[in-house]
Amino acid sequence: MTKPLRSRAWFNNPDNPDMTALYLERYLNYGLTRRELQSDKPIIGIAQTGSDLSPCNRHHLVLAERLREGIREAGGIAMEFPVHPIQETGKRPTAGLDRNLAYLGLVETLYGYPLDGVVLTIGCDKTTPACLMAAATVDIPAIALSVGPMLNGWHRGERTGSGTIIWKARQMLAAGEIDYEGFIELVASSAPSVGYCNTMGTATTMNSLAEALGMSLPGSAAIPAPYRERAQVAYETGLRIVEMVKEDLKPSDILTREAFLNAIVVNSAIGGSTNAPIHLTALARHAHVDLPLQDWQTHGLHVPLLVNLQPAGTYLGEDYFHAGGVPAVVHELMQKGLIHEGALTVTGKTIAENCAGQTTHLPDVIRPFDAPLKTDAGFVVFSGNLFNSAIMKLSVISPEFRERYLSDPADPNAFEGPAVVFDGPEDYHHRIDDPALGITERTLLFMRGAGPIGYPGAAEVVNMQPPAYLIRQGVTALACIGDGRQSGTSGSASILNASPEAAAGGNIALLRTGDRVRIDLNTGSADILISDAELDQRRAALDAAGGYAFPASQTPWQEIQRGMVGQLETGAVLEPAIKYH
Ligand code: FES
Ligand code: MG
């Protein structure tokens, strides 16, 4: 061992025997011995994200036992501690509010306690970026352990996937095909076991990307939560973190620009969530890696979709695991030279060494590169007089959507139409079925007041369902544009994450119902078709009225975060936190 253990400053500091005694005594009080704490045994934190409030991650309470056994067997001492809960489905007003709060709390814990390394227990959407961001800031040896997806959901012989089934069940309810009891039964069928969402939503995306970044053991992301392999990889993770401390292998060695570019390519191939650019941008900024949003289009747009999981495809988490998970995806991408093969991982080996020979076992679930589900599966980065940036997944545009909006033979990749504007999700729910809005199959629905400041944390509400009368006519999706986010389990072709948001002075605040808006998929532009003079007039009027109005904060954290959070384009991080590294 070359470098003295960080925890020695607490438990065995010859320069400060008084404080050593003080630091030491309380950690003895539950049975640890001086021999354990004062020998050169690395102290390994287990950052525990599971709790009764966080059912997606709750199985980590069980997995922690195998983690501890691995840590102990490799010569370490485990110290488990709680991370501020972030439950995607349970937290009001939105779990997006809590990512940065959990980040802050974890930074303080990792910095301020006698930890030589940490296992990050990741899972539900924001737990993964929150934990990785904190590890990047404090930069002590860290390894991520995914809790794994739930088993496949089934209903009457068909796979029912988390989240994705909700969008479908809502439409069935609106169309009168099922009643409320049937609605609940259908939705609940998608959650058959412990674990996180079994679709390619934000959780499977972020756990896959943590592995693609090199921050978790190869093949570990896709293992379903209840499988024996999940507990086995928990044990292996415990063994490995102790070795990482001895090797002084830190996040800054792994989270390089090459690793992020690998993650962007993998995100396209897996059909990853539109939340991924937000979280990876945030992580890159805390890791001090340059990763402008445009990188997603430059490096990711033309990568094909290889993973056939809902919402873009057919299958679910168990199938993804049996097909080979992330290593099989990386292997396919490596064959075409799309992976930076030298990127280092937590194994101490490169991603290429980890994934060599990992061919797909189920070629319909993880497709070979030359037989993809779709081409150009990445994101287009939009800009225009409505916003500086927003993203869209072109590959989810359905033929029916294309026919309605993109049928002008002279200009097949552009459309324009009248805007109907909603200020926040409550306004949308109150008014969407109001016939006075005159929504037709060519209307563009706008959602604003849903960004990091307007709806603190940014709500997943941009994928708006059409009014019930249109759904009954078979129109299941309208063009949706907004300054909020959308769930990774939604297959909607929205233009979202628009920055700056209305509440931060973005031009989307100047849009009025009835304005015509033009979207051009060739150039990635989105513009209100009014003159600059008219825009200026509206700006002056809005400024005179005190700016775009949004609801008051309900908690201290909402107010604090609103004062220092950035926009979705730049990761919606706490801006003052970036300089710490
Ligand atoms: Fe937690 Fe989807 S709601 S993983
Ligand atoms: Mg979500």
Q: pLDDT tens digits for the chain (581 residues)?
A: 468 999 999 999 999 999 999 999 999 999 999 999 999 999 999 999 999 999 999 999 999 999 999 999 999 999 999 999 999 999 999 999 999 999 999 999 999 999 999 999 999 999 999 999 999 999 999 999 999 999 999 999 999 999 989 988 988 998 899 999 999 999 999 999 999 999 999 999 999 999 999 999 999 999 999 999 999 999 999 999 999 999 999 999 999 999 999 999 999 999 999 999 999 999 999 999 999 999 999 999 999 999 999 998 999 999 999 999 999 999 999 999 999 999 999 999 999 999 999 999 999 999 999 999 999 999 999 999 999 999 998 888 888 899 999 988 988 899 999 999 999 999 999 999 999 999 999 999 999 999 999 999 999 999 999 999 998 898 989 999 999 999 877 777 899 999 999 999 999 999 999 999 999 998 999 999 999 999 999 999 999 999 999 999 999 999 999 999 999 999 999 999 999 98
Residues 51 and 134 in one domain: yes
Provide the domain limits for residue 169: 160-188
Query: 444: closest CA among 389, 386, 502?
Result: 386
When computed from its CA atoms, the radius of gyration of the chain, rounded to whole angstroms, is 24
Q: Which ipTM score applies to this complex?
A: 0.92
Nearest atom in ligand 1 to 87's CA? 1
Strand order in the sheet with 379-382: 379-382, 389-393, 496-499
Residues in contact with ligand 1 by the CB-under-6-Å rule are 56, 88-89, 124-125, 162, 196-197, 201, 203
Residues 316 and 392 in one domain: no
Residues 303 and 383 in one domain: no
489 CA distance to ligand 2 middle (Å): 7
205 CA distance to ligand 2 middle (Å): 11
2 located within any domain:
no
Query: Residue 235: enclosing H or E segment and its boundaries?
Result: helix 228-247
Nearest CA to ligand 1 atom 1: 124
Nearest atom in ligand 1 to 89's CA? 3
Please enumerate, as own/partner, the contacts of 370-375 that have beta carbons within 8 Å and a separation of 24 or more.
372/304, 372/305, 372/306, 373/271, 373/304, 373/305, 373/306, 373/307, 373/308, 373/312, 373/313, 374/304, 374/305, 374/312, 375/302, 375/304, 375/305
Residues 87 and 173 in one domain: no
Q: Cα separation of 547 and 502, whole Å?
A: 9
292 CA distance to ligand 2 middle (Å): 23
CA–CA distances in Å: residue 266 to residues 142, 324, 329, 333, 339: 22, 14, 7, 8, 9
530 CA distance to ligand 2 middle (Å): 34
Residues 129 and 275 in one domain: yes
83 CA distance to ligand 2 middle (Å): 19
Which pLDDT value is given to residue 397?
86
Count: domains in the chain = 3
DSSP state letter for 495: B
568 located within any domain:
no
State the ligand closest to the CA atom of 58: 1
Nearest CA to ligand 1 atom 2: 197
Q: Which residue has the tokens 């730049």?
A: 570
Beta bridge partners of 80: 46
176 located within any domain:
yes
464 CA distance to ligand 2 middle (Å): 15
Q: Cα separation of 334 and 329, whole Å?
A: 9
Residues 142 and 169 in one domain: no
Q: Which residue has the tokens 């438990």?
A: 11
State the ligand closest to the CA atom of 161: 1
Residues 308 and 435 in one domain: no
Distance of CA 394 to the CA centre of its chain: 19
Q: Cα separation of 336 and 322, whole Å?
A: 23
Q: Which residue has the tokens 């990050």?
A: 120
**Which region holds residue 337: left if phi is over 0, alpha if psi is between -120 and 50, else beta?**
left
State the ligand closest to the CA atom of 273: 2
Nearest CA to ligand 1 atom 3: 88
Residues 294 and 431 in one domain: no
Nearest atom in ligand 1 to 57's CA? 1
Residues 331 and 421 in one domain: no
State the ligand closest to the CA atom of 205: 1
Q: Cα separation of 148 and 232, whole Å?
A: 12
Which pLDDT value is given to residue 439?
97
CA–CA distances in Å: residue 421 to residues 115, 441, 455: 50, 15, 16
Report whether 241 contacts 118 (CB < 8 A).
yes
Among 51, 53, 54, 88, the mutation site with the greatest number of ligand 1 atoms within 8 A of its Cβ is: 88
Instruction: Let me know how long the chain is.
Output: 581
State the ligand closest to the CA atom of 54: 1
414 located within any domain:
yes
State the ligand closest to the CA atom of 458: 2
Among 49, 56, 58, 316, the mutation site with the greatest number of ligand 1 atoms within 8 A of its Cβ is: 56
What are the residues whose beta carbons fall under 8 Å from the beta carbon of 183, sequence distance 6 or more? 169, 170, 172, 173
Q: What is the pTM of this model?
A: 0.97
567 located within any domain:
no
Q: Cα separation of 250 and 142, whole Å?
A: 7
573 located within any domain:
no
Residues 226 and 127 in one domain: yes
541 CA distance to ligand 2 middle (Å): 35
Among 146, 196, 275, the mutation site with the greatest number of ligand 1 atoms within 8 A of its Cβ is: 196
* Cα three-residue angle 163-164-170, rounded to 5 degrees: 90
Which pLDDT value is given to residue 333?
98
Nearest atom in ligand 1 to 163's CA? 2
531 located within any domain:
yes
Domain end call among 188, 208, 241: 188
CA dihedral of residues 323, 324, 329, 333 (deg, nearest 10): -110
Residues 348 and 239 in one domain: yes
Residues 276 and 128 in one domain: yes
DSSP state letter for 71: H
Q: Cα separation of 71 and 238, whole Å?
A: 4
Q: Which residue has the tokens 């993973």?
A: 307
Domain of 486, CATH number, reads: 3.50.30.80
73 CA distance to ligand 1 middle (Å): 32
449 CA distance to ligand 2 middle (Å): 18
83 CA distance to ligand 1 middle (Å): 16
Which pLDDT value is given to residue 487?
82
436 located within any domain:
yes
Domain of 60, CATH number, reads: 3.40.50.2300
DSSP state letter for 530: S
